[in-house]
Amino acid sequence: MSKIYTLGELAGFINGKVHGNSDFAISGVAPFESATVKDICLAKSKEYLNKIPLCPSKAFIVPEVPDFEGINFIVHPNPYAAFARIVSLFHPLEKKEAMIHANANIGSSFSYGKNVYVGACCVIGDNVVLGDDVYIYPNTTIGDNVVIGNNSRIYPGVVIYPETEIGSRVIIHSGTVIGCDGFGFAPDAGSWIKINHLGRVIINDDCEIGASNTIDRGTFGNTVIGKCVKTDNQVHIAHNVEIGDNTILVAQSGVAGSTKIGRNCIIAGKAGISGHLKIGDFVIVGPMTGVTGNIKDGNVVSGIPEMPHKLWLKVSNILGRLPDLRKKVFLIEKRLESIEKKKNAE
């Protein structure tokens, strides 16, 4: 049974300010469509603020106090983030009792901290080190000499190659492969010679890696994922890539080898970034963008190849009219040819 919090307790947890009854009891969180009287809802924008009278809930997290009577509010400058923290109170991550399953295959010199869970059919190599409160879910494979920090969770079916280093409070979702060789082959007389990859993958604290990601080990140096990086499902990060702190990569985006991406960037869905580039801090790469050159700090780019987003909006606005414009150009050319012929005849 979930715990009941007062509005005042929730406001204290998120450093918000109550407008209404601080003792109003909250038993859960819910969207507008399914909320009950005792649920707290998020009204993060004017669109939702206008819908408050239509919702059964009597408690909302808002950026400003709307003029409705009989309703309670927590005001917060970032209501979306505040709501996320409250959701974690009512629905915390799963807790498991410490256990090394009898069916797990454990290598030599395995070292682990307090409250560690290793599920059924896991394979853990030699010299692996796990911190406190680490969960390794079933059917996960962890290679030799891997280090995983405190409070990290590795969900079922993840494969972590040898020598990988993972920080604290990291979440890795199912189907992800970390530390496989990059796509490195040297051409030789019409054939290809494999380049053995000797580097590692280093994932820093507070990262979340989505399902079915592939993060390649470095060729000679390391592939480095900065602190608090978040990747969506089906993201590919190639060998020797470096990603700065607080950057996010959305579904099906890919980064080619040896590219460096700065801090606080957003790489939108299906964007592709070529290799050996430098992407600055606070850069936004729009969806399905093909990046072929370096991007300076703070720029927003879209299109193929990448261009300033405002220019891309103009270009995309013209694309649908290109067939008609082409016809008009042909007509103009014919008229000019006809005028030229008349002049020559005279």
Please identify every residue annotated as catalytic: 239
**What's the distance, CA 13 to chain centroid?**
25
| Peptide bond before residue 53 is cis, with ω within 30 degrees of 0 | no
Closest to 32 (Cα-Cα) out of 59, 68, 4: 59
